[in-house]
Structures are given as C-alpha cells and as structure tokens.
A and B are shown apart, each in its own frame.
Chain A
Amino acid sequence: MNFDWLFLFEISLAGLGTGALYALTGLAFVTIYKATRVVNLAIGEMLMIGAYVFFAFAAGLALPVWLSIVAAIVAGGVLGALVERTMIRPMLGESPISVFMVTVGLGSILVGLVELIWTADPRRLPEFLPNDPIFLGEAYVSPKVFYGFCVAALLIAAMLLVFRFWRGGVALRATASDQAAAYSMGIDVPRVFSLSWIVAGMIAAIAGIVVGAIGGISSTMGIFGLTVLVVVIFGGLDSIAGALVGGLFIGLVEAWAGAYLGGEYKVLAVFVLLVLILMVRPYGLFGTHEIERL
C-alpha cells in the first residue's frame, strides 16, 4: 500500500493550526506564571469568557464583528485585572498550592457564570472569517484553521516584540527574575502583576474567539485549557519559547493520533507524551531549573 503523503501533510497543517492556538493560550499562561509564579488553571475558562462575551455582543446585541472583538478583548482584560486584584493579590505570600486552588475555584465560578447566563447548551459563533477553501500546493486547509493560525502567529509575534523591546517587558523579565530586587530598583511590582493578568486575559479572549469560531462555544470549552496546561508543562512553565514549541508540537501529535489511531486516542497520546516528558525533563523542555538554595 502506498503511503498517502498528501494526507499526512494536510493532517499536519490542521495540527499546526490547532497548535498555534495552544501556543497562544500557552503564552497567556506563561505571562502570568513568569510575573507572579501563579499556576493559573482557569486559563481555559478565561478563554471561554472571552468567547461568550464576543457571542453576547455579536449575536445577542448584533453589534458589528470588529466592535464585538474589541469588546471581548476589553472584557478579557477587565476580567484579568479583577481576578488579580480580588483573588490573587490577597493570596500574596500564601503557599503556591493555595493560590493554585484559588484558580481552580475561579474556573468553576466562571463555568457556573456562563451556564447561568447562557445555559449549558453549545452554541455557534456568527461566521466572520472568510470561508473560501484554501490550498497550500495540493493540500487543503480548512479556512477557519488557516485564519486562526494567522491570528495566533501575528499575536505571538507582536507579544514577543513587546517583551523584547518595550520597557514594560524588561520590567516583567526583571520581576520574574527577582521580585525584591526589581521592587527596590523602582519597578512597580504590583503594577507588573496587574499588567500580566490583564495582558493574559486579553490574549485568552482573542484565543477564545478563534477557538469558538472554529469549534463552536459551550460551557465545557474550558477543557481546552487542560491541553494548554500540558503544553506549558511540556515547554517549561516560565518559557515563552517553550510555550510556542510545545503548542505546535502538541497540536501535531494530537492531529496525528486522531488521524492514524482514531479520535479517542487524541487525549491519550497527549497525556502519554506529558508523562514521558515529566520523566525525562521534569522542568519542561526550556524551563529553568529551580535550584534550591540552602
């Protein structure tokens, strides 16, 4: 039997498309973790809120799509700021496990909120991405996945530039490296904390809109965050490069497993990979070794 290379190529393209969204959401996760050392398990739910706010504006109020996108991004930022201020800041200095549990609770609250307002029924977002089929050479790519990839890639590039060249990015890196030193050198650490949550909330909202546009929205779409958690553990919790490589790689593995082993093996493949990575490199591919100093 002849191996169908074109099929593999198409599957891989689709995998990269999903992977880019994992990478984007992973970036939001890493931003929070880098600045505040908080493992935010509610990132998937923050993404969901972004999608639902977009849905409320675009479908509910029938506002133009671009305005709804802006509104959803703003709402994502406000959500991030609120969460940081009311739930995370008071936990400053508590054990990481407690803060982690707070984010678990936050996830449940957000799911409950969505089910109260919009019920648990899955919904479709209004169509706003162009729908013409796209061919790369001979390979067919679903237009939604293609545009999703483009949005994610652009946003990731923009974020990388910001981290690299804006002084706020430098402040973030300094805070990530040593909070006390950063604080004493004139870097407003509480503001860096707020900003990182705001930025993460905004990125999550954009990712939510794209994810929702591809697969529809429901109160369980926060599951997406679970795969993102695998991505960032794979890449290293505090590594932006890790989130990018991890996102694309997990996306590929998921797509391959789905195509060649069957849809039910997708999650299995991803988590087997997670176990393997944790056994070989417990701090992820690019994560920093935490050195215990005695």
Chain B
Amino acid sequence: MPFQESVAPERNLLQVDSLTLAFGGVQALGGVSFSVAAGSITSVIGPNGAGKTSLFNTISGFYRPASGSIRFEGRDITRLPPPKRAALGIARSFQNIALFRGMTVLDNIKLGRHCHLRTNVFDALLYFGRARREELQLRAEIEERVIDFLEIDHIRHAPVAALPYGLQKRVEMARALAMRPKIVLLDEPVAGMNREETEDMARFILDLRAEWDVTVLMVEHDMGMVMELSDHVVVLNFGQVIARGTPEQVQNDPEVIRAYLGSGRIDALRARLAGGEPAEPAEQAKQPA
C-alpha cells in the first residue's frame, strides 16, 4: 500500500521540513523535506555523500540544522537534545557498529532501557524495592522479547567485541529495540553482510513492524532489499530530495537513474558525446505504480 505525501498529518510519525545543514561552506542538506508515515518502512537512498547520514544525525539530534524543522508525533523536536529524543521513542543504529565494547550482549541490551528508567540515586537508596521491581520487570521484558525476537539467546553472555559482524549488527538492533522506540533509524543495516545475513536482517526488519509496531526509517545501499521492503523511498542527491514515492516510481524516475549512473542511458551519453543535447528518453517517463 503506497504512502503518499498526501497522507493526513496525524498519520505522519516523523515529518522533516525544509531542513538545511552546512559544515563551513559545504552544504550537507539543502532544504530536505519528507515524511514518514506511522507503521511504514521508509528508505532513504542516494549516492555516497548525498547527505543520508547527515540527515540521520540531524534527526537523532547530533547536528543542529541551520533552518527547517523536525516534527515527531506532531511535536517540534528540532531543538531537543538527543537524550530527550531517545526518551520520546526515537532509536537508531549506526553505520559503523557502535556497541559498548567490553560489555556483554546483555549489558548492551540493558543499556537500551536506560532512557526510560526513572529511578535516580536517591530513589535507589531509599526505595530499594521499587528499583528492584523495575530491574526485574526490565529484565523479564528484555529477555523474553528482544533476545528471542532477534535469536541471540545463545550469545547472551558473550562479550560483544568477540562476535562476528552480522551478530554485532543484530545486537545493535536489539539494543535499539530495548528502548521500546516508536521509530528506529537504521543506518545501513546490512552493509558488509553476506547474503544469508542480509536475508535474516530483512526478515527482522519486516517483523519489526509486524510484531513490534515500530516504524522503520533506513538508509541502505542494497537496492534489492530497499525495493523489496520499503513502502516509501526518498532519494537524496547533493543534499536534496530528487525523488520520492513507491519503490516502482522511484526505480523508474529518470532523475534517480541519472543520479546513480551519471547519465540515464547509453544512447543519451552517445548523443552528448556526439555534441547533441541529451534528449529526455521517452520510455523512462514515470510508469503508473
């Protein structure tokens, strides 16, 4: 089912509006707008350096945008520091795995609940019962669900640094899930994975929505996976949205093809080499979804 821009505002979990971000003279994002419908899997694609990770870092609060706004559940979170965003229900994974090395899988996952634990030092001293109950409930919840879901029961007590790459990615996802987020931002969830690991991860992402009621926003280079999983695809190039729509619409968008291949077609390239203007290839006009 296609999620269009025309979806009513309350159905948009996350809304990014004309976001600009610059590092010195380099403009990383130049007026990026898009929205993520609640319950959807939305992908952001684009060539290297298009601004995808900058966009993620701005959404999770690491970068302050120069202008524009980010709304989450209708609330403006543009100026909120990252920990507050985490508490609101925005979780993320990182392109280069960012696990707490030197801790076990379980410790990492437990830290995912950190943002929701209300007990402070004095509570912990005075109301030992409450802290204990919270801890037990936390443990039960995590052990029952997250670990089972991501099938990492066998490595629960293993130090994360010793795990193979694919499993580390899975632990990172488990940690994000332990935050009980409303949306997870996955930065290249299958980068560097073999086919089997990629298929596993694709299944987990689909189940995220089905079983956990979590909206997914991901950056990914694996086009096969993006096209298969996504409800909605946003294409970035040079910090700007050049296309968005269903996977089919995006796949056939001439702008997108040009961004990825430099030129849409070999005969257009030949024509340009021959000195003629590159004609808009007619057969690449948008196909109906």
Q: Which residues of A contact B (CB under 8 A)?
A: 166-168, 170-171, 173-174, 177-178, 180-189, 288, 293
Convert B58-86 into 0s and 1s, putting 1 for each residue whose CB lies closer than 8 angstroms to a CB of A: 00101000000000000000000111001
Q: How far is the CB of B182 from chain A (nearest CB, A)?
A: 14
Q: Are A174 and B62 in contact (CB under 8 A)?
A: no
| Segment from B107-115, B144-152, B263-271, B272-280 that makes contact with A | B107-115
Q: Are A180 and B100 in contact (CB under 8 A)?
A: no
**Known contacts A171-B114, A183-B82: does B121 contact A177 (CB below 8 Å)?**
no
13 pairs of residues in contact across A and B, judged by CB atoms under 8 Å: A166-B121, A166-B124, A171-B114, A173-B100, A174-B103, A180-B98, A181-B98, A181-B99, A186-B82, A186-B86, A186-B114, A186-B116, A288-B102
Q: Are A186 and B179 in contact (CB under 8 A)?
A: yes
Q: Are A186 and B115 in contact (CB under 8 A)?
A: yes
Q: Are B100 and A177 in contact (CB under 8 A)?
A: yes
The chain B residue with its CB closest to the CB of A181 is B98
Secondary structure type dominating chain A contacts: helix
The chain B residue with its CB closest to the CB of A190 is B81
Q: Are A170 and B111 in contact (CB under 8 A)?
A: yes
Chain A CB count within 10 A is highest, among B103, B112, B114, B116, for B114
Q: Are B86 and A185 in contact (CB under 8 A)?
A: yes
Which residues of the partner chain B approach A177 to less than 8 Å between Cβ atoms? 100-103
Which residues of the partner chain A approach B114 to less than 8 Å between Cβ atoms? 167, 170-171, 174, 185-187
Q: How far is the CB of B29 from chain A (nearest CB, A)?
A: 19
Number of A-B contacts (CB under 8 A): 68
B94 interface residue per 8 A CB criterion: yes
Which residues of the partner chain B approach A181 to less than 8 Å between Cβ atoms? 94, 98-100
User: In which size bucket is the chain B interface?
Assistant: 20 to 34
The chain A residue with its CB closest to the CB of B110 is A170
B27 interface residue per 8 A CB criterion: no
Which residues of the partner chain B approach A180 to less than 8 Å between Cβ atoms? 62, 94, 98
In addition to A184-B92, A185-B112, A186-B115, 16 A-B residue pairs with Cβ atoms within 8 Å of each other are A173-B100, A173-B103, A174-B103, A178-B100, A180-B94, A181-B94, A181-B100, A182-B100, A183-B83, A185-B91, A185-B175, A186-B83, A187-B83, A188-B81, A189-B83, A293-B96
* Bound-complex Cα distance A288 to B82 (A): 28
**Known contacts A181-B94, A181-B99, A185-B111: does B83 contact A167 (CB below 8 Å)?**
no
Which residues of the partner chain A approach B111 to less than 8 Å between Cβ atoms? 170, 174, 182, 185, 187
The chain A residue with its CB closest to the CB of B112 is A185
Which residues of the partner chain A approach B284 to less than 8 Å between Cβ atoms? none
Q: How far is the CB of B67 from chain A (nearest CB, A)?
A: 23
B87 interface residue per 8 A CB criterion: yes
